[in-house]
Amino acid sequence: MQSMVTAVRSTGATNVIALGGEEFSNEMTQWLAFEPTDPAGNLVAAWHSYNFNTCSNQSCWTSQVAPVIAKVPLIAGEIGENDCASGYITPLMSFLDSQGASYLGWTWNAWDCSSGPSLIADYTGTPTAFGAGYKAHLLSLP
């Protein structure tokens, strides 16, 4: 991660750099131990969370993700579930809200959820139950 940050900053860029953990950005236990130094002070931890990942329960979020959030901003750049429901993302979003973290639903594709999470059932924007749950949660925020 340090080599990437150094390379980006050597171009003069001052933008936010999002750095993920291992295992497709789901494993965060070593993120703080290897946090690079950023002369711009503009890093965020990037995390992906799905119902089929290793870190997919409250206990794991509390032990692995909360310590990172306590030290650096975190963006869950991909959250979702492959059952086209919202039973997984609803408590996940509540956890992330309670920690002051950001999140994005994955993905805006009209495919069968067995191929991966999908917020929509068709390209006119008809939500899946996953998409409807995501939207309902966002609408419930102050």
Instruction: Identify the residue with better confidence: 45 or 111.
Output: 45
In this prediction, residue 129 carries a pLDDT of 95
Q: What is the CATH class of 2-140?
A: alpha beta
Contacts of 23 (CB under 8 A, 6+ apart): 53, 54
Q: How far apart are CA 110 and CA 125, in angstroms?
A: 9
For the chain, domain boundaries: 2-140
Q: What percentage of the chain exceeds 90 in pLDDT?
A: 95
In this prediction, residue 23 carries a pLDDT of 95
pLDDT in tens, 113-129: 888 899 999 999 999 99
Residue 111 pLDDT exceeds 90: no
Rounded to a whole number of angstroms, the distance between the first and last alpha carbons of the chain is 36
CA 112 to chain centre: 22
The amino acid at residue 134 is: Y
The band of 135, judged by pLDDT with boundaries at 50, 70 and 90, is very high
DSSP state for residue 114 in the 8-state scheme: G
Helix (H) or strand (E) holding 77: strand 74-80
The band of 95, judged by pLDDT with boundaries at 50, 70 and 90, is very high
Structure tokens at 115: 């191929």
In this prediction, residue 113 carries a pLDDT of 83
pLDDT in tens, 33-85: 999 999 999 999 999 999 999 999 999 999 999 999 999 999 999 999 999 89
SS3 74: strand
In this prediction, residue 130 carries a pLDDT of 94
Supply the pTM of this predicted model. Answer: 0.94
Give every strand in the sheet of 17-20, ordered side by side: 17-20, 43-50, 74-80, 102-105
